[in-house]
Amino acid sequence: MYSCSLERMKDKIETFSRFGATGNGGITRYSLSKEAIMARNEFIKRMTAIGAVISIDDMANVYATLPGTDENAKSIMMGSHADSVKNGGNYDGILGVISAMEVLETVEKEGIEHKHPLTAMIWTNEEGSLYAPAMMSSGVLCYDYLPEDIRVNFKKEDMLNSKSVLDNKTTFGEALEKSGFKGKIENRVTRQNACCMFETHIEQGPILEEDGKDIGVVDCVLGMFNYRISFYGQTTHAGTFPMAKRKDALFAASKAICYLHEEIDKLGIKGLVYTTGEIVCHPNVHTCVPDYVDFSIDARYVDESKLKEVEKIIKALEEKEWAGCTCKTKLQWNRDTVYWDKKLVAYVEEAARETGVSYEYIHSGAGHDAQFVAYMLPTTMIFVQTKAGLSHCEEEYAKPEHCTSAATVMLNAVLKADKEF
């Protein structure tokens, strides 16, 4: 068994946390921004220093490869993303990049022989914070393998025309051209040049910490759906129209949200999560009774038949009375549960057990680039314990010791794959 370096991991975590630092412990590092380019250049500098071969594809995904002894062997891929949400943390995404770098550094410094090329990579625009959608470049690269209802949202020409949320003018394609990171389509990771993919990531939840486990052996990404629920009422003057005669769309929506919580909880589905995270209110003026409110509901669970039960409750909202308002529901998107490759999952568990790293099996409730890659290649993930489960915020934190343990597990799992793939 081989071990990764705690000191090297600390150094990389500290260094990459400077690129887009907010001054409050977190980062804002939008995809293809100057801050993201600084992170990419640091990745290239460090990987070049150990003799890795750098390549960049047409979606600006960056690859660093240590050649193997077998010229005909396909690459074992490792990596994640370097972009962040606004005022995000120093671990989401970038930890997977740092861990992949650490695996390559350890292989090079320890002189570990390997048959397959080993590749660390940075995925472009996983978060979709500046240019929607999330998981953009993995969606484009895996397009031919994705289910039709997913891939329709990832046509390359549409992605290039995605507009910045900051100015609603600059497109992703324009940013790509200006970044200096627009490479060649033939450099893409494909089924023809890669044999499998590993992604290390913070858990983004409290389970591992509560259970006292360093890492999670991830077995799947939960199935999920997102609905928009709209209420139509009538705008009137806030000071002159009697309460009993109002058709207040915001009041109706608030009652519906409470109803959804009560009814979904009655299902008693342990582990189910659901969220209303976005609300639109019109006219959104303090002197007007709202005539239109639209909100999202996102539900996630491993068993798709149980999600259907939740969906039934949501659809039934249209048939009920809501303070005199009309209700309409619309499915925005849904994704099936994606199970990781059983052989790779077993390698991760074996590596954790053999290196003495505490672990437990866990599901991923969040989407990741690995989720799309799994349709194209055997894929798996490793989770790292996250303090208080906080993520997508400046308080996000993972202990360097846990990060190093995860890198050590990935290293040894990769070496198992190298022998058996």
Instruction: Please write the tens of the pLDDT for every residue from 230-267.
Output: 999 999 999 999 999 999 999 999 999 999 999 999 99
Tokens of 141: 């690269």
pLDDT, residue 44, reads: 98
User: Over the stretch 357-381, which tens digit does the pLDDT of each residue have?
Assistant: 999 999 999 999 999 999 999 999 9
- pLDDT for 38 equals 98
Structure tokens at 43: 């990745």
Q: Domain ranges for the chain, please list them.
A: 6-221+337-420, 223-335
Domain 6-221+337-420 CATH assignment equals 3.40.630.10: yes
Fold assignment, 223-335: Alpha-Beta Plaits (3.30.70)
Amino acid occupying residue 49: A
Give the model's confidence band at 76: pLDDT under 50 very low, under 70 low, under 90 confident, else very high.
Answer: very high
* Pairing label, strands 223-232, 292-301: antiparallel
Q: What pLDDT is recorded for position 286?
A: 97
| Residue 186 pLDDT grade (very low, low, confident, very high; cuts 50, 70, 90) | very high
Torsion, CA 384, CA 388, CA 391, CA 396, rounded to 10 = -90
**Residue 383 main-chain phi, psi, to 5 deg:** -100, 150
How much is the pLDDT for 351? 98
**Mean of pLDDT over the chain:** 97
Are 6-221+337-420 and 223-335 equal in CATH topology?
A: no
pLDDT at 174 (0 to 100): 98
